């Protein structure tokens, strides 16, 4: 567990923005390699690890997908030695002023996002939350050095270092969704001493925050029987307390909605109940905002499910998770996988799942 | 003393001084509780001070005697306190409401790591996920009332209402720049420590490391009374607003600029600097070829605002190291500007004599 926590902290200390996931992939590959039989990288850059099951061939397979890309910023211009930028993934401009970032220029440059004084801003911005195109990144370097070192389109990643707070919580950037990568890792570790008939594909997908590019492509190559997206979900916290939020540290969530196959949902639910693994239900009436949305409609379509890990302050540099939720999610995945009989899918009858409850 | 002798004696700003600045910048001393910085200052100056005492508000008042008879008694002030927060309501589960101490724009709070209380417990100021906000909502700043300091569930016992907190920014150097959270005014504090260690022999130095500057210049007011100096210099940091203007017009209201040397004050919201002192600084700057700039007259202020009106009036002037983004999580200043500030104040003290004050203002 300490080892997994260290891997997680390493993962959330790295960039790996959408489309440029290599730094994260390298660490994940090292963590997964001893836990799987085969490992490869897709043309899009997603990491595919295969852990073979014991069932007769052709074996059914379950794909566990967690996106490894992170949100961040991209440089759009240089003005008086300061950088203009835009977002990669969804960034609320209100988190930006004072944000510590690393600009990935010809070399990595420490920098901060800065908000000019109100009187230098467009009158429409004064006293308001200042829109991204009115903010700058300052590297503390002189103008000529900035021009020499930074190019248009260079990335800037959040530089918040991981923090361990009480209640076994971890704070940092890109816990969305590297905490789910950790959950898959935990699952693979559990499976080391368990027997499972199904093949298990551990997949770290790319570009979820921008195009769902990993979710749309990996299932095509792998052609799984079932595909599960593991992603973070909204934990209750300051400013976030409505029906869309769940408790931090109260267990992973089982999604219910159009991106969740009811029969697969029920299977996870039954296992959680049977083993008394704490879980929460999450109601997702439309788009789940996860790779499941893409995976569900790849090729001729796949049965999908979404497992959520509660996370507070999503898409800020100080995202917060409880390690316990990650472990429970990993355990639930492993325990469900070992309970998938070879003919599990053949037994699915739509009539059987009436309604939830 | 000859000019080249003065030049050779100017205290160095080298690795050791930057290390000390780092320690000072990382220390937490929100106005009203300056004890951590006070401890560092005391440790640094104890072997050099002829007299030292801590007064009723927590100012450190240091005397460094001159090596000449009847020296001019010069007060130099730098404030130890910084802007920050106080926890004011415990909502359980590690969530605390907080108030701002000093001037911090609400818009600078969101997404920041903070340090809470004497044990520097890590915490964060988070925000509602963007996914749960509306486009209209995102146009307005998140009000202070909706923000919390979160120290993690179950940690409430390790900190309590009344504790101070501030940004958790750690000091760094980036190329030519010094980067830290409380460089306003730890730059001044670090400069003043060097002056206590290397005092020009012609003056009696009355060094005031003041408290509560960000809370209304309250420490300096009583320090000036107690010290009863003939003249006062204030060392501070002032905003370099030398950024592009939205409509790409020339920025005529930059206050001060980075890389242009120490900023000499003529007028701010609280003080009309003594012209005799301004002229002295200018003369010394020119004579020694030390770059300096005039801070654009305008708002803001320093401890001089309280000092110059103390007793029957104390001739005062302020000198600031320019810094971008003061009163946010990060201030950026240039090493060269700090070095030139040290040069200007040191040479000006060496060149100072009471005669300057005998002329009518």
Q: In whole angstroms, give the CA distance from residue B62 to residue B49.
A: 6
| Per-residue pLDDT at A18 exceeds 90 | yes
Q: Note the pLDDT tens digit of each residue in B86-110.
A: 999 999 989 999 999 999 999 999 9
Of B129, B146, B153, Cβ closest to residue A313: B129
Mean pLDDT, residues A9-38: 98
CB contact under 8 Å between A122 and B108, yes or no, is: no
Going by C-alpha positions, the residue among B166, B128, B125 that lies closest to residue B330 is B166
Q: In whole angstroms, give the CA distance from residue B190 to residue B207.
A: 12
Catalytic residue among A57, A143, A161, A208: A208
* pLDDT computed for residue A188 by the predictor: 98
- The answer, for B103 touching chain A at a CB cutoff of 8 Å, is no
- The answer, for B243 touching chain A at a CB cutoff of 8 Å, is yes
* pLDDT computed for residue B157 by the predictor: 78
Reported confidence tier of residue A1, pLDDT bands at 50, 70, 90:
low
CB contact under 8 Å between B174 and A248, yes or no, is: no
CB contact under 8 Å between B140 and A313, yes or no, is: no
Residues 87-116 of chain A whose Cβ lies under 8 A from any Cβ of chain B: 90-100, 109-112, 114-116
Chain B residue closest in CA terms to A248? B153
Maximum CA extent, chain B: 72
State the smallest CA–CA distance between residue A277 and chain B in angstroms: 21
Complex ipTM, two decimals?
Answer: 0.93
State the smallest CA–CA distance between residue A205 and chain B in angstroms: 21
Give the angle A254-A260-A265 at the CA atoms, nearest 5°. 50
Chain B residue closest in CA terms to A112? B330
Note whether A142 and A155 are within 8 A (CB). no
Q: Is B12 one of the annotated active-site residues of the chain?
A: no
Say which CATH number the domain at A115 has.
Answer: 2.40.30.40
State the smallest CA–CA distance between residue A174 and chain B in angstroms: 13
State the smallest CA–CA distance between residue B62 and chain A in angstroms: 35
For residue A318, list chain B residues with Cβ-Cβ distance below 8 A. 111-113, 124-126
Q: Which of A91-100, A224-233, A286-295, B151-160 has the lowest mean pLDDT?
A: B151-160
Q: In whole angstroms, give the CA distance from residue A29 to residue A33.
A: 6
| Per-residue pLDDT at B219 exceeds 70 | yes
Cβ neighbours of B109 (radius 10 Å): 25
Mean predicted lDDT score pLDDT of chain B: 96
Same-domain status, A78 and A190 = no
Residue B321 φ then ψ, to 5°: -85, 125
Containing B23, the helix (H) or strand (E) segment is helix B15-26
Reported confidence tier of residue B1, pLDDT bands at 50, 70, 90:
confident
Q: In whole angstroms, give the CA distance from residue A46 to residue A205.
A: 5
Q: Which residues contact B107 (CB under 8 A, 6 or more apart)?
A: A94, A97, A115, A129, A130, B141
Note whether B140 and B134 are within 8 A (CB). no
Note whether A174 and A16 are within 8 A (CB). yes
For residue B332, list chain A residues with Cβ-Cβ distance below 8 A. 112, 138, 140
* pLDDT computed for residue A205 by the predictor: 98
Q: Which residue has the tokens 């460094």?
A: B64
Same-domain status, A141 and A48 = no
Same-domain status, A214 and A224 = yes
Q: In whole angstroms, give the CA distance from residue B27 to residue B39.
A: 10
Mean pLDDT, residues B238-243: 97
| Per-residue pLDDT at A277 exceeds 80 | yes
CB contact under 8 Å between A145 and B179, yes or no, is: no
At what angle are helices B35-45 and B183-197 packed, to 10 degrees?
A: 20
DSSP letters along A298-331, please?
STT---EEEEEEEEESTTSTTEEEEHHHHHHHHH
Same-domain status, A24 and A78 = no
Reported confidence tier of residue B263, pLDDT bands at 50, 70, 90:
very high
Q: Is residue A257 part of a domain?
A: yes
Q: Is residue A163 part of a domain?
A: no
Note whether A44 and A198 are within 8 A (CB). no
Extract the tokens encoding B334.
């240039």
CA distances from residue A121 to A133, B205, B243, B249 in whole angstroms, order as listed: 11, 43, 10, 11
State the smallest CA–CA distance between residue A183 and chain B in angstroms: 21
For residue A242, list chain B residues with Cβ-Cβ distance below 8 A. 132
Q: In whole angstroms, give the CA distance from residue B78 to residue B34.
A: 13
Say which CATH number the domain at A10 has.
Answer: 3.40.630.10
Q: How many residues does chain A have?
A: 357
Note whether B115 and B149 are within 8 A (CB). no
Same-domain status, A106 and A206 = no
Q: Is residue A254 part of a domain?
A: yes
Going by C-alpha positions, the residue among A258, A246, A256, A260 that lies closest to residue A325 is A246
Q: In whole angstroms, give the CA distance from residue B65 to residue B202.
A: 9
Percent of chain A with pLDDT over 70: 97
Chain B residue closest in CA terms to A134? B246
Residues 168-187 of chain B whose Cβ lies under 8 A from any Cβ of chain A: 169, 172, 174-177, 179
> Distance from CA of residue A311 to its chain's centroid?
11
Same-domain status, A216 and A332 = yes
> Distance from CA of residue A11 to its chain's centroid?
11
Q: In whole angstroms, give the CA distance from residue B175 to residue A3.
A: 35
| Per-residue pLDDT at A337 exceeds 60 | yes
Note whether A69 and A63 are within 8 A (CB). no
- The H-assigned helical ranges of B258-315 are 275-287, 304-307
CB contact under 8 Å between A97 and B127, yes or no, is: no
Strands B121-125 and B112-116, by their bridges, are antiparallel
CA distances from residue A45 to A21, A24, A36, A218 in whole angstroms, order as listed: 7, 11, 18, 10
Same-domain status, A88 and A187 = no
Q: Note the pLDDT tens digit of each residue in B324-348.
A: 999 999 999 999 999 999 999 999 9
Q: Is residue A167 part of a domain?
A: no
Same-domain status, A29 and A78 = no
Residues 245-274 of chain B whose Cβ lies under 8 A from any Cβ of chain A: 245-247, 251, 253, 259
- The answer, for A242 touching chain B at a CB cutoff of 8 Å, is yes
Catalytic residue among B34, B36, B204, B213: B213
Q: Is residue A180 part of a domain?
A: yes
- The answer, for A129 touching chain B at a CB cutoff of 8 Å, is yes
Helix (H) and strand (E) counts in chain A: 8, 17
Instruction: Tell me which of A133, A158, A183 is where a domain ends.
Output: A158
- The answer, for B92 touching chain A at a CB cutoff of 8 Å, is no
Strands A253-256 and A280-283, by their bridges, are parallel
Residue A46 structural domain: 2-70+173-352
Same-domain status, A197 and A324 = yes
Residue B36 φ then ψ, to 5°: -65, -45
Q: How many CA atoms lie within 13 A of B162 on its CB side?
A: 3
CA distances from residue A348 to A143, A266, A307, A339 in whole angstroms, order as listed: 65, 11, 20, 15
Q: Note the pLDDT tens digit of each residue in A101-127.
A: 999 999 999 999 999 999 999 999 999
Reported confidence tier of residue A353, pLDDT bands at 50, 70, 90:
low
Q: Is residue A168 part of a domain?
A: no
Q: Note the pLDDT tens digit of each residue in A147-164.
A: 999 999 999 999 999 999
Residue B106 φ then ψ, to 5°: -50, -35
- The H-assigned helical ranges of chain A are 2-11, 22-32, 143-149, 175-191, 213-222, 262-275, 291-295, 323-338
At what angle are helices A323-338 and A175-191 packed, to 10 degrees?
A: 40
Mean pLDDT, residues A319-323: 98
Note whether B288 and B281 are within 8 A (CB). no
* pLDDT computed for residue A323 by the predictor: 97
* pLDDT computed for residue B156 by the predictor: 62
- The answer, for B188 touching chain A at a CB cutoff of 8 Å, is no
Chain B residue closest in CA terms to A108? B174
Q: Note the pLDDT tens digit of each residue in B152-181.
A: 987 667 899 999 999 999 999 999 999 999
Strands B263-264 and B293-294, by their bridges, are parallel
Q: Note the pLDDT tens digit of each residue in B128-145.
A: 999 999 999 999 999 999
The domain locations on chain B are 3-82+181-358, 85-167
Note whether B361 and B317 are within 8 A (CB). no
State the smallest CA–CA distance between residue B360 and chain A in angstroms: 39
State the smallest CA–CA distance between residue A215 and chain B in angstroms: 20
Same-domain status, A310 and A194 = yes
CB contact under 8 Å between B140 and A171, yes or no, is: no
CB contact under 8 Å between A169 and B153, yes or no, is: yes
Q: How many CA atoms lie within 13 A of B41 on its CB side?
A: 35
* pLDDT computed for residue B282 by the predictor: 98
Same-domain status, A193 and A340 = yes
Same-domain status, A340 and A213 = yes
* pLDDT computed for residue A356 by the predictor: 52
Q: Note the pLDDT tens digit of each residue in A283-318.
A: 999 999 999 999 999 999 999 999 999 999 999 999
* pLDDT computed for residue B277 by the predictor: 98
| Per-residue pLDDT at A354 exceeds 70 | no
CATH architecture of B85-167: Beta Barrel (2.40)
- The answer, for B113 touching chain A at a CB cutoff of 8 Å, is yes
Q: How many residues does chain B have?
A: 361
Domain count along chain A: 2
Q: Which residue has the tokens 């704070």?
A: A171
Note whether A230 and A200 are within 8 A (CB). no
* pLDDT computed for residue A351 by the predictor: 67
End-to-end Cα separation, chain B, in angstroms: 26
Of B111, B151, B325, Cβ closest to residue A166: B151
CATH architecture of B3-82+181-358: 3-Layer(aba) Sandwich (3.40)
């Amino acid at each position: 567990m300490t080892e997994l926590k260290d891997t997680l902290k390493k993962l959330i200390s790295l960039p790996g923005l959408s489309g440029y996931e290599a730094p994260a992939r390298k660490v994940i590959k090292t963590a997964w390699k001893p836990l799987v039989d085969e490992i490869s990288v897709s043309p899009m850059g997603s990491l595919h690890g295969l852990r073979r099951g014991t069932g007769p061939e052709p074996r059914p397979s379950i794909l566990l997908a967690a996106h490894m890309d992170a949100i961040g910023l991209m440089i759009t211009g240089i003005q008086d030695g300061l950088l203009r930028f835009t977002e990669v993934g969804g960034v609320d401009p209100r988190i930006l002023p004072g944000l510590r970032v690393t600009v990935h220029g010809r070399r990595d440059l420490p920098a901060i996002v800065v908000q000019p004084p109100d009187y230098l801003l467009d009158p429409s911005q004064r006293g308001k939350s200042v829109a991204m195109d009115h903010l700058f990144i300052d590297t503390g370097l002189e103008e000529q050095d900035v021009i020499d070192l930074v190019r248009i389109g260079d990335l800037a990643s959040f530089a918040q270092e991981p923090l361990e707070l009480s209640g076994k919580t971890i704070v940092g950037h890109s816990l969305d969704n590297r905490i789910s990568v950790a959950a898959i890792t935990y699952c693979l570790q559990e499976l080391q001493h368990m027997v499972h008939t199904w093949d298990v594909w551990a997949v770290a997908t790319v570009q979820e925050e921008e195009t769902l590019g990993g979710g749309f492509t990996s299932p095509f190559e792998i052609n799984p029987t079932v595909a599960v997206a593991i992603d973070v979900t909204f934990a209750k916290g300051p400013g976030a307390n409505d029906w869309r939020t769940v408790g931090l540290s109260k267990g992973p969530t089982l999604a219910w909605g159009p991106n969740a196959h009811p029969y697969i949902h029920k299977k996870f639910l039954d296992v959680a109940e049977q083993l008394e693994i704490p879980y929460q239900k999450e109601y997702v009436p439309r788009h789940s905002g996860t790779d499941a949305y893409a995976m569900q409609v790849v090729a001729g379509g796949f049965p999908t499910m979404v497992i959520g890990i509660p996370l507070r302050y999503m898409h800020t540099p100080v995202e917060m998770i409880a390690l316990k939720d990650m472990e429970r999610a990993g355990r639930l995945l492993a325990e469900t996988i070992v309970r998938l009989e070879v003919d599990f899918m053949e037994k699915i009858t739509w009539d059987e799942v009436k309604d939830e409850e | 003393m000859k000019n080249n002798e003065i030049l050779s004696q100017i205290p160095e700003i080298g690795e050791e001084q930057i290390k000390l600045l780092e320690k000072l910048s990382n220390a937490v001393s929100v106005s009203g509780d300056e004890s951590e910085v006070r401890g560092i200052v005391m440790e640094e100056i104890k072997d050099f001070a002829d007299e030292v005492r801590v007064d009723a508000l927590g100012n450190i008042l240091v005397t460094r005697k001159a090596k000449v008879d009847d020296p001019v008694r010069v007060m130099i002030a730098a404030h130890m306190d910084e802007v920050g927060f106080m926890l004011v309501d415990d909502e359980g589960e590690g969530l605390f409401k907080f108030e701002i101490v000093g001037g911090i724009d609400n818009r600078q709070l969101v997404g920041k790591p903070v340090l809470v209380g004497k044990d520097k417990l890590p915490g964060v100021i988070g925000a509602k996920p963007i996914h749960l906000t509306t486009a209209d909502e995102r146009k307005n700043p998140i009000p202070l009332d909706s923000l919390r300091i979160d120290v993690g569930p179950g940690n409430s016992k390790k900190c309590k209402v009344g504790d101070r907190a501030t940004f958790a920014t750690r000091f760094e150097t980036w190329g030519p720049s010094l980067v830290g959270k409380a460089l306003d005014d730890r730059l001044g504090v670090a400069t003043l420590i060097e002056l206590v260690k290397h005092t020009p022999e012609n003056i009696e130095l009355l060094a005031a490391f003041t408290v509560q500057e960000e809370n209304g210049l309250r420490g300096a007011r009583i320090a000036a009374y107690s010290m009863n100096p003939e003249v006062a210099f204030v060392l501070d940091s002032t905003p370099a607003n030398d950024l592009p203007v939205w409509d790409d017009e020339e920025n005529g209201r930059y206050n001060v600029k980075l890389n242009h040397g120490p900023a000499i004050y003529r007028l701010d919201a609280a003080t009309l600097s003594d012209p005799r002192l301004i002229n002295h600084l200018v003369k010394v700057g020119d004579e020694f070829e030390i770059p300096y700039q005039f801070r654009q007259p305008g708002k803001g202020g320093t401890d001089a605002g309280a000092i110059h009106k103390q007793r029957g009036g104390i001739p005062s002037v302020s000198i600031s190291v320019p810094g971008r983004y003061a009163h946010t999580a990060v201030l950026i200043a240039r090493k060269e500007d700090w070095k030139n500030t040290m040069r200007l104040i040191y040479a000006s003290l060496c060149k100072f004599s009471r005669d300057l004050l005998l002329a009518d203002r």
